Chains A and B, each alone.
Chain A
Amino acid sequence: MRRLPRVEVLVMAVVGGVVLIGVPTVTNQFYTFEFAKVAIFVCALLGLNLLTGYSGQISLGNGAFMAVGGYTTAILVHAAGVPYWLTIPLAAIVAGMAGVLIGIPALRLAGVYLALATFALALSIPPVLNHFDTFTHGHQGIVMPPVAAPFGLDLSSEQWLYYLCVGIAILLYAFAWGVVRSRTGRAFMAIRDSETAATASGISLAYYKTLAFGLSAAYAGVAGSLLAIATTYINPDSFGLGLSLSLLVGVVIGGLGMNFGAVVGALLVVWLPYFAEKAGQAGVHIGPLTFAGKPDIFFGAALILIMLFAPNGVAGLMLLGWRRYLSMRSATRMPVQDPIAGR
């Protein structure tokens, strides 16, 4: 086991912490709010990564679980007057149960078929939410009261939302980190790499696959709940196929099978549409085409190129660079390093 170079890690942790805490004090309300959204997407992507990246089951339907979480929060706050912070764990539980329910039939659907079923789930959720409008108020959506900072803290609403979302994202990140390094995480990866070998080693496919679905859905539920709280409004169209696809885009470009990929992916999924829109307003012309300010073409091309050249995404490339750096640094002290693992 290579000893961690303590200095770099410490420096990075301190810088990271200062940046995370400092962001809302130096940026304006809009940016603070967008960074809160990044934290929300980190939650959703961590969950999808546990399912797709670590246990190898594709899901195009995690947007649907976000809808479950979001509506749990919105309905509880709006109709039952439950305090919003209490609805976050409830949203995780409800969405997690929905995930387990979907996971049970998904057990028998491998690969392509699972993608089909979850694709259908993502497409059918918005019209179903519209249909049951006694609870969901259909197209009108549900408006929630904006949140204010508690305990008399001197924070604006956006700043409080930022700290809330970032705090929860860190918590969920730590949990995912723990899961991946536990027996459960090893079981997930064993299933991903070979179901036959995993079964032969005594891993219960049914248990772990359902668990992966439930966990992933609970993460998505938290993300949906936070999104509802942050935007103070939800309607069915916010949870369509587009959302599920952007989650997949985020997790793939960020890095499948790497928790840190969720952070990279979330930054990309939240900020790229914003910059694309800005570029579109400024009027980007390439040949006869005027770009209307949607990042879809880039996202699609990036999905293909990442799968071709860097299956572990941007986070994988960063890890590779980090290892290069380490081997360069220690080359003076240690004669030969292990070859860089491509995983």
Chain B
Amino acid sequence: MTAFLQQVISGIATGCIYASLALALVLIYRAMDLANFAQGEMATFSTFISYSLIEYWHIDFWPAFVITIVLSFALGIGIQRLVIRPFEGRPVLTLLIVTLGLFTMFNGITGQIWGYVFKTYRGGFPSEPVIFGGLYINVQDIGVLGVVLVMLLLLYLFFSRTKAGLAMRAASLYPDSSRLLGVRVGWMLALGWGLASAVGAVSGMLVAPIIFLDPNMMQSILLFAFAAAVLGGIESPLGAVVGGITIGVLMALVGTYIPGGQDLRLAFGLIVIVAVLLVRPAGLFGRAAVRRV
């Protein structure tokens, strides 16, 4: 039983990381009905930037963390303005291929600059256990949970309490009416990309201390984040969080209790995606977008 709880707790922590990347995906999906395949590679790129800030510029982790978030935000805005905006009004298939182009490009750029050798990444939390009610809980896991909760709170406050947040929601729901009311819809999309990129960067910087840093590190995490977003309902931020934690716990249990489960985790991610889409396409919290043609 203790072993089981132990797995559940570590699953919740990794689940929080999936949740934050899923949240980034949801931000872009809500804004433009697009699954951003480059989200993971953008996050990897950001994480490598923070690595350089820490290792070569000798900045402490937390200042580097904040600088990286700001830079990633700017990166997201830049990508939307330069790469995505020219495709306004083009079919989804086209945009999907564009995000795959970004995926390939960012993977290549990261590999060119930092190489393909695995690197250790020192995070902001010590990796040592505290004993709590007979359970060994890693301080790092508690830290991850805390960071993600703070990020959620900030995003919630942004969307519910600020004018920019309101304008963003309006722009994604009713672009035409918003434009008439003076909301600059194009810039709201850019803001969405910026936020998503920043949120993705957080997930990258949280996961890098747990796994090693390499240009392909976010690919499997992207799959779990997609599974999380689909499970939660791809339009729902709350769903992304609940879905992320569910997937995290599920994968920890699969990895522990199914023989050879480590190899099968990705396949379970695939099964979750397909099963949810077939049985309940709206996910747990999404609204049903019925399209019967």
Contacts and interface: CB of A to CB of B under 8 A. Distances in A.
Interface in B66-102: 83, 86-87, 90, 92-94, 96-98, 100-102
A241 B219 contact: yes
Contacts, number: 142
Contacts of A311: 94
B112 interface: yes
Nearest to B94: A307
Interface in A174-203: 195-196, 199
B33 interface: yes
A121 B223 CA distance: 10
B107 interface: yes
B165 interface: no
Interface in B254-293: 260, 262-267, 269-270, 273-274, 277-278, 281, 291, 293
Interface residues of A, number: 48
Interface in A237-275: 241, 245, 248-249, 252
B37 A115 contact: yes
Counting from the closest, the 5 A-B pairs by CB-CB distance are: A296-B108, A300-B105, A303-B101, A300-B104, A124-B266
A108 B220 contact: no
7 contacts: A112-B35, A127-B263, A127-B265, A128-B264, A296-B105, A297-B109, A300-B102
A327 interface: no
A120 B266 contact: yes
B93 A304 contact: no
B37 A111 contact: no
A105 B94 contact: no
Interface string A101-121: 000010011111101110111
A296 B111 contact: yes
Contact of A112 (B96, B101, B223, B266): B96
A18 interface: no
Nearest to B33: A112
A308 B112 contact: no
A314 to B, nearest CB: 15
Interface string B190-213: 000000000000000000000000
Contacts of A252: 97
Contacts of B83: 304
Contacts of B278: 105, 108
A127 B274 CA distance: 18
Contacts of A119: 37, 223, 226
Interface residues of B, number: 52
A248 B105 CA distance: 14
Given A123-B266, A128-B267, A131-B263, A292 B111 contact: yes
B104 A245 contact: yes
A300 B83 CA distance: 12
A109 B101 contact: no
B103 interface: yes
Interface string A304-326: 10011001000000000000000
B266 A301 contact: no
Given A131-B263, A248-B97, A296-B111, 10 more contacts: A105-B277, A109-B274, A112-B96, A120-B227, A127-B266, A296-B105, A297-B104, A297-B108, A299-B104, A303-B101
B264 A307 contact: no
A226 to B, nearest CB: 25
Contacts of A110: 291
Nearest to A128: B267
A131 B111 contact: no
Nearest to B272: A120
Contacts of A56: 93
B93 A111 contact: yes
Nearest to A299: B104
Contact of A304 (B37, B98, B219, B264): B98
B7 to A, nearest CB: 20
A316 to B, nearest CB: 14
Of A123, A195, A298, A311, most buried by chain B (CB within 10 Å of CB) is A123
